[in-house]
Amino acid sequence: LSVDMAAQARGLVAARWLADAVKSNRVGPNLRILDASWYLPKMKRNPRAEFEKTHIPGASFFDIDECCDKSSKFDHMLPSEGEFAHYMYNLWQHCFGSFSAPLMWWMFRVFGHTSVSVLDGGFKNWLMEGHPGTEQYSKPACAEFRASSTIVDARANGRFRGVEPEPRENTEPGHIPGSINMPFPSFLDSTSGLERPVEELKKLFQQAGVDMQKPFWVTCGSGVTACHIALAAHLCGHLGVCLYDGAWAEWFTRAAPEHVISEGKGKQPR
């Protein structure tokens, strides 16, 4: 998988494109190659060991077994922003083509890095087209990776701030740390109930500080009114909106008190 500022909207890159980039010494600060090879345990193959024997020149190994939420009992759950940023900071470093690379592509996009592409056909196709492999490891220069994912909350401002009650029992108002409030009625004409024109919708997102060039998540109380935000974004041409369907009802129940931001009493420690 390659990362290139010029390939921001490019989901796939061809082996020839990447080979030309390698030959012209473009692999560097603005282009990184990451090998995300992974195999099911029953296949008894070691992707890291295979990487050390041969890989695309200039590539580093991205271990999806390491860059994940290790507190979960399930495999390959998305890590937190901090865990992902920490893994990337410390990253010094194929029978199914690009089998696991799309997971890494998706993960980068979740955390706000849109200049990421999958090598079409993966390492298998790279070799089939006659491009070279190497056992030499090219250690990339250390750089800080800032993970960022925007969350937009559709609830009323009072509930978001924590000063008006939630409609559900045993749930106090407040919001997820770092989230942005866009109450869902703001997308509708107050008289007719019609959806506002696209230009007005775009202005609302801009005023709220939502970057429409990046993926973002929407939430509300139980995953219903959040879809107003998703629809408005879709009408504006943004197709990468994700819904947190557990929403505030789940977050308040499961989150630690310090992760419930409120001007009211918030969540009390047990």
Tens-place pLDDT, residues 124-171: 888 888 998 888 776 666 666 666 689 999 999 999 999 999 998 889
For the entire predicted model, the pTM comes to 0.59
Q: Tell me: domain 2-128, CATH 3.40.250.10, correct?
A: yes
Position 165 scores a pLDDT of: 94
- Give me the residue spans of the domains in the chain: 2-128, 150-259
- Does 150-259 match 2-128 at the fold level? yes
Position 95 scores a pLDDT of: 43
CATH number of 150-259: 3.40.250.10
Q: Which residues of the chain have a pLDDT value below 50?
A: 1-9, 94-97
What is the identity of the amino acid at 3? V
Dig out the tokens for 23 from the structure: 């030959």
Contact between 175 and 209 under an 8 Å Cβ cutoff? The reply is no
242 is catalytic: no
Contact between 219 and 154 under an 8 Å Cβ cutoff? The reply is yes
Residues 110, 147: Cα–Cα separation, whole Å: 9
Region of residue 76 (left: phi > 0; alpha: psi -120 to 50; beta: else) = left
User: Which one from 68, 220, 236, 242 is the annotated catalytic residue?
Assistant: 220
Position 4 scores a pLDDT of: 43
Contact between 210 and 216 under an 8 Å Cβ cutoff? The reply is yes
Q: Which residues pair with 151 in a beta bridge?
A: 217
Position 138 scores a pLDDT of: 67
